[in-house]
Amino acid sequence: MKNLIFLWALCRMSCCIETGSHSLWIFSTVIIGDKTPFPEFSTVVMLDDIQLAYYDSDVQKLIYRQYKSENEHEEQRDAGIIFREEHRQMKIRALFSKDQLNSTQGVHVQQTLTGCELLDQDTPGLMQSWNAFNTINDGELNFNIQQNTLQCNGKWPKLWSHIEEKGIELLHAQIYSPVCLKVLKNYLHTMKNQIMRKVKPRVRLLQKTLPDSGGVKVTCLATGFYPRHINLTLLRDGQPVSDHQITGGELLPNVDGTYQMRKSLEVSAEELRNKHQYSCTAEHLSLDNKLDIKLVNARVGTRNRVPPVVVLGVALLLCVGGVIIMCLRRRRHRSSSDGSDGSTNVSTDTSETDEPLQLPHKSAI
Mark 138-169 as b/e (b = at least 16 C-beta within 10 Å): bbbbebebeeeebebebbeeebbeebbeebee
Query: pLDDT band at 261, cuts 50/70/90?
Result: very high
Asked if the model's pLDDT at residue 359 lies above 80, the reply is no
Same domain flag for 183 and 65: yes
Of 252, 275, 294, the position where a domain reaches its end is 294
CATH number of the domain residue 80 falls in: 3.30.500.10
Cα separation, 136 vs 103, in Å, equals: 13
Same domain flag for 178 and 233: no
Same domain flag for 282 and 238: yes
228 vs 56: which has the higher pLDDT: 56
Domain presence at residue 275? yes
Cα separation, 289 vs 278, in Å, equals: 20
The winner for highest mean pLDDT among 116-125, 225-234, 265-274, 346-355 is 225-234
Digit-coded pLDDT (tens) for 235-254? 999 999 999 999 999 999 89
Same domain flag for 283 and 147: no
CATH number of the domain residue 229 falls in: 2.60.40.10
Please report, for residues 4, 97, 171, 266, the alpha-carbon distance to residue 250 in angstroms, rounded to integers and kept in the order given.
20, 32, 34, 17
Mean pLDDT of 83-105: 87
Percent of the chain scoring above 70 in pLDDT: 70
Domain presence at residue 334? no
Neighbouring C-beta atoms of residue 48, cutoff 10 Å: 23
Same domain flag for 177 and 63: yes
Asked if the model's pLDDT at residue 345 lies above 70, the reply is no
Query: pLDDT band at 163, cuts 50/70/90?
Result: low
| pTM of the predicted model as reported, rounded to 2 decimal places | 0.61
Domain presence at residue 336? no
Of 294, 309, 338, the position where a domain reaches its end is 294
What DSSP element (H or E) covers 263?
Answer: strand 259-267
Digit-coded pLDDT (tens) for 108-141? 999 999 888 888 777 888 888 888 999 888 888 8
Same domain flag for 127 and 261: no
Same domain flag for 279 and 170: no
Same domain flag for 19 and 166: yes
**pLDDT given for residue 113 in this prediction:** 92
Mean pLDDT of 273-278: 86
Domain presence at residue 328? no
Cα separation, 283 vs 303, in Å, equals: 30
Domain presence at residue 354? no
Same domain flag for 151 and 217: no
Do the beta carbons of residue 43 and residue 82 sit within 8 Å? no
Asked if the model's pLDDT at residue 219 lies above 90, the reply is yes
Digit-coded pLDDT (tens) for 308-336? 555 566 666 776 666 677 777 676 666 65
Q: Which of 234, 239, 210 is nearest to 282 (CA)?
A: 234
Same domain flag for 180 and 206: no
Same domain flag for 191 and 255: no
Domain count, the chain: 2
**pLDDT given for residue 101 in this prediction:** 85
Phi, psi of 26 (to 5 degrees): -120, 115
**pLDDT given for residue 74 in this prediction:** 83
**pLDDT given for residue 132 in this prediction:** 92
Domain that holds residue 254: 202-294
Domain presence at residue 62? yes
Asked if the model's pLDDT at residue 165 lies above 90, the reply is no
Same domain flag for 179 and 115: yes
Domain presence at residue 232? yes
Residue 132 CA to chain centroid, in angstroms? 25
Of 234, 266, 294, the position where a domain reaches its end is 294
Domain presence at residue 257? yes
